[in-house]
Amino acid sequence: MTTILEILKYVIPSIIVLVSSYLIVQKFLVSELKRKQLALLQESQGVTIRLRLQAYERLVLFVERISPRALIPRVYVSGMTVTDLQQAITFNVRAEFEHNLSQQIYVSSNVWNTVRGVMEQEINMVSMISKQLSPDAPAKDLHTKIVDYILTVPGEMPIDVALQIINEEAKKVLSYGAMA
């Protein structure tokens, strides 16, 4: 019996030290893992925010580039007809849009639908105005009609509304981070 008591006198403290060591190491490893996960999350949010802001920048540039005041001088060539200018405008708007298709994964559906709607409205506006003119008329006539239409349309232009929506969402991302 004394031998068992003598053995227990050494074994029990050893077991207690072993269990307490295990718990301390386990707690340390868990807290270290959580710390590393938090650091990784913060790092990835920084990358995500940069990507989202770049997407907003590209969409603002897209919307600005498809506005008639920027697009027509870029595509107009002397000697064009109304049909030629309409086709050039439509082609350039669609090409710009296709170039920016990947940005939809970084922005909200509201912003993306607004941008897509602006593209469609611009193409429809040019088509509607060009139908009022003779297809063989000089392209300058279409340009003049588009400018007149823009100046006489009541309310805000779709491009201005889209820019406002993009800017508001970009500001939210800057304020609240990736959670916005």
Instruction: Name the range with the highest mean pLDDT among 27-36, 85-94, 147-156.
Output: 85-94
CA-to-CA distance for 139 and 94, rounded, in angstroms? 20
> How far is Cα 97 from Cα 62, in angstroms, rounded to an integer?
7
Structure tokens of 53? 């802001």
Residues 38-87: tens digit of each pLDDT? 877 777 666 688 889 999 999 999 999 999 989 999 999 999 999 999 99
Domain boundaries, the chain: 10-179
Nearest-CA neighbor of 91 among 110, 106, 71, 77? Answer: 71
- Judged by average pLDDT, the poorest of 94-98, 126-130, 173-177 is 173-177
Please say whether the dihedral angle defined by the alpha carbons of residues 111, 113, 116 and 119, taken in this order, is positive or negative. negative
pLDDT tens per residue, range 94-121: 999 999 999 999 999 999 999 999 999 9
The whole-angstrom separation of Cα 159 and Cα 117 is 10
Q: Would you tell me how many other CB atoms lie within 10 Å of the CB of residue 64?
A: 14
